[in-house]
């Protein structure tokens, strides 16, 4: 993809926008761009520099993203709404063409990284709460404040404010900025990446050798599968990636959202609004708490991925009301006139709180409370889902881990701190 119309090859020390930004290291990439950690010589701080591919359709997409991001930044002068901030944008001409560049505040690892780091084990519910509060604050601002639908909420598109590994964080690690291309190193761009990859491979092999040795000495081999400590990691996060976002009253695509986070109204093509993001949020909260995606549909013999997806939703959440099932432009492809799936007949109904207890080993009370929070967001009727603003008021978000806060007294009453107020819970003998 490093050819005409594609990515721009960057070398460490390359400068952008008349010398203002200097590339430090690659942070990530997507279908549209590469993203680099850069040093901003004007503010003397680190930023994320997104360099878009140069072909016209990518430039078009970047201009749209900048329009949305500018509205977001203009409406949030205090930068406190948990949505990524666009700092600057400009054009950069290179051998592959002209690339639109966006400069963002530097953020840390994605929630997907966090889930992997935790070995797909599920985070403590208090951490899930913290994350949900940030995302909901961001969504309340986007939906209520600006009329923007994100349309692609998923763990990859929510970034922590810090990196999990402190040595990767330029600020916490006290990194001194590189101000020019390293002397005597003609390797850059793509070549540099190959060298980096080889070094990483070597480190991985060395690590594997060490753990192998340990296991042959009778210890536990491989990486420990216990929850890795997340102590000291501030789990605040921000919503990113507005490449697919739209205004509620100015939509571009019929098919939105990444498969696993896609709402029923989008599958049925019944029209969508802010509530489609709320469905995705529920899927993300479930994934954070259990370590597994809520729905992973697959097409099979005689039925499509969409039909499998609809069947899975009904098996977990109950039957889709007939009115909703038959109400979309694509309803006839999947449902008969009674509102039953045409090609998947026998559904195995279950329910969310039982799943949390039986499969994910939640306590009955944790499962019950979490389900009370999630279920309204997973209403098949989009209009019935709570808004982000309403959701922020939900008591579940303000429960504290009872182990940390319970105080037993002699009359058998526990006091559990719930936010600012105190709630009394009777304890049975
Ligand atoms: P996609 O194919 O998902 O649309 P894209 O080309 O639009 O990708 P982004 O998703 O915006 O690019 O960014 C690619 C990656 O760069 C992210 O997944 C993340 O790892 C990293 N990244 C993006 N923005 C930041 C930021 N502000 N701070 C730190 N890292 C970032
Ligand atoms: Mg992305
Ligand atoms: Mg994108």
Complex ipTM:
0.98
Ligand 3 center to 209 CA (angstroms):
38
Confidence of residue 197 (pLDDT cuts 50, 70, 90): low
Percent of the chain with pLDDT over 70: 82
- Mean pLDDT (the chain) is 86
In this prediction, residue 203 carries a pLDDT of 52
- Confirm or reject: Cβ of 33 under 6 Å from ligand 1: yes
Mean pLDDT comparison of 166-170, 188-192, 218-222, 370-374, highest-scoring range = 370-374
Of 191 and 343, more confident: 343
pLDDT at position 124 over 60: yes
In this prediction, residue 181 carries a pLDDT of 85
pLDDT at position 229 over 80: no
In this prediction, residue 231 carries a pLDDT of 72
Of 211 and 377, more confident: 377
Q: What digits encode the pLDDT tens for the residues 297-320? A: 999 999 999 999 999 999 999 999
C-alpha pair distances (Å), 257 with each of 150, 210, 307, 371: 9, 42, 17, 23
> Mutation test of ligand 1: which of 35, 36, 150 has the most ligand atoms closer than 8 Å to its C-beta?
35
pLDDT at position 419 over 90: no
- Confirm or reject: Cβ of 30 under 6 Å from ligand 1: yes
Q: What digits encode the pLDDT tens for the residues 280-289? A: 999 999 999 9
**42: buried, middle or exposed (CB in 10 Å: 19+, 13-18, 0-12)?**
exposed
Q: What digits encode the pLDDT tens for the residues 232-258? A: 779 999 999 999 999 999 998 999 999
Q: What digits encode the pLDDT tens for the residues 61-106? A: 999 999 999 999 999 999 899 999 999 999 999 999 999 999 999 9
> What's phi and psi for 328, nearest 5 deg?
-100, 165
Ligand 2 center to 228 CA (angstroms):
26
Q: Is residue 50 marked as binding? A: yes
**365: buried, middle or exposed (CB in 10 Å: 19+, 13-18, 0-12)?**
exposed
Is the pTM higher than 0.90? The answer reads no
- Confirm or reject: Cβ of 156 under 6 Å from ligand 1: yes
Ligand 1 atom 24: residue of nearest CA: 48
Q: What digits encode the pLDDT tens for the residues 8-39? A: 999 999 999 999 999 999 999 989 999 999 99
Ligand 1 atom 1: residue of nearest CA: 30
Query: For 27-124, where are the alpha helices, taking DSSP H only?
Result: 56-74, 111-117
In this prediction, residue 183 carries a pLDDT of 73
- At 246, list the tokens: 């739209």
Of 406 and 17, more confident: 17
- Confirm or reject: Cβ of 24 under 6 Å from ligand 1: no
Mean pLDDT comparison of 88-102, 159-173, 211-225, highest-scoring range = 88-102
In this prediction, residue 242 carries a pLDDT of 96
Q: What digits encode the pLDDT tens for the residues 325-342? A: 999 999 999 999 999 999
In this prediction, residue 425 carries a pLDDT of 35
pLDDT at position 363 over 60: yes
- Please tell me whether residue 231 adopts helix, strand or coil conformation: coil
**CA–CA separation, 359 vs 375, rounded Å?**
18
């Amino acid at each position: 993809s490093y050819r005409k119309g594609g990515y721009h090859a960057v070398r460490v020390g390359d400068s952008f926008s008349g010398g203002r930004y200097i590339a430090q290291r690659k942070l990530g990439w997507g279908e549209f761009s590469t993203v680099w950690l850069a040093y901003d010589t004007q503010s003397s701080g680190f930023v994320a520099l997104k360099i878009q591919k140069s072909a016209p359709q990518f430039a078009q997409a970047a201009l749209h993203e900048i329009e949305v991001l500018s509205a977001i930044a203009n409406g949030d002068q205090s930068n406190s709404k948990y949505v990524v901030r666009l700092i600057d944008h400009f054009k950069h001409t290179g051998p592959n063409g002209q690339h639109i560049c966006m400069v963002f505040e530097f953020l840390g690892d994605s929630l997907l990284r966090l889930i992997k780091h935790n070995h797909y084990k599920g985070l403590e519910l208090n951490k899930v709460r913290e994350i949900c509060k940030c995302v909901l604050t961001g969504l309340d601002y986007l939906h209520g404040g600006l009329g923007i639908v994100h349309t692609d909420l998923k763990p990859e598109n929510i970034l922590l404010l810090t990196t999990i590994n402190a040595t990767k964080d330029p600020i916490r690690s006290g990194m001194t900025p590189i101000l020019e291309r390293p002397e005597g190193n003609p390797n850059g761009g793509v070549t540099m990446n190959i060298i980096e990859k080889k070094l990483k491979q070597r480190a991985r092999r060395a690590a594997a050798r060490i753990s192998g040795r340990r296991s042959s000495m009778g210890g536990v081999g491989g990486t420990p599968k216990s929850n890795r400590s997340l102590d000291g990691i501030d789990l605040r996060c921000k919503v990113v990636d507005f490449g697919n976002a739209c205004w509620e009253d100015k939509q571009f695509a019929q098919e939105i959202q990444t498969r696993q986070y896609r709402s029923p109204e989008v599958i049925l093509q019944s029209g969508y609004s802010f509530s489609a993001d709320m469905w995705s949020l529920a899927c993300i909260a479930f994934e954070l708490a259990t370590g597994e995606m809520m729905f992973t549909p697959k097409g099979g013999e005689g039925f499509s991925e969409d039909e499998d997806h609809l069947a899975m939703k009904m098996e977990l959440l109950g039957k889709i009301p007939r009115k909703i099932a038959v109400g979309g432009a694509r309803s006839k492809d999947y449902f008969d006139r009674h509102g039953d799936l045409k090609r998947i007949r026998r559904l195995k109904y279950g329910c969310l709180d039982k799943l949390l207890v039986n499969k994910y080993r939640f306590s009955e009370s944790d499962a019950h409370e979490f389900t009370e929070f999630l279920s309204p967001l997973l209403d098949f009727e989009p209009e019935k889902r709570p808004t982000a603003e309403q959701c922020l008021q939900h008591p579940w978000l303000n429960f504290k881990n009872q182990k940390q806060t319970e105080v037993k007294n002699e009359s058998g009453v526990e006091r559990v701190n719930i936010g600012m107020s105190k709630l009394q819970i009777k304890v049975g003998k």
